[in-house]
Amino acid sequence: MEGKRSSERLLKSVSNIDFNPVAPSINERTPMNNDATFKALAYTRGQDPNNVSDDYASKIPLGRPGKLTEIADLISYLASDHASYISGTTINISGAKSTR
């Protein structure tokens, strides 16, 4: 990812394009983040599928999975003129889980 960001920084300097990857953690359930996802996660961790979601949420410092609207709000902000000086950085949106 770092190599790609370096080339994107060069692109930004030439064509005024911002590049800010967003790195969300597991969030509220969606069609792509469903029971099958949690069963697979439970299997790889050797856990009960019924407990894996609660176990994961308990390890997030904010105590809950993220909401899709929170991710959308961040992306909307990054696409706005208010974020014009933010470029070339990956933004974790994980309820502070990435700081542990």
DSSP 20-69: --EEE-SBS--SSSSHHHHHHHHHHHT--TTTHHHHHHHTSTTSSPBPHH
Report helix, strand or coil for 16. Answer: coil
For the stretch 71-88, pLDDT in tens is 999 999 999 999 988 888
pLDDT at 92 over 80: yes
Strands 22-24 and 91-93: parallel
Report, as an integer, the average pLDDT of 56-61.
Answer: 82
> Quick one: pLDDT at residue 5?
62
Q: Which domains does the chain carry? A: 2-99 (3.40.50.720)
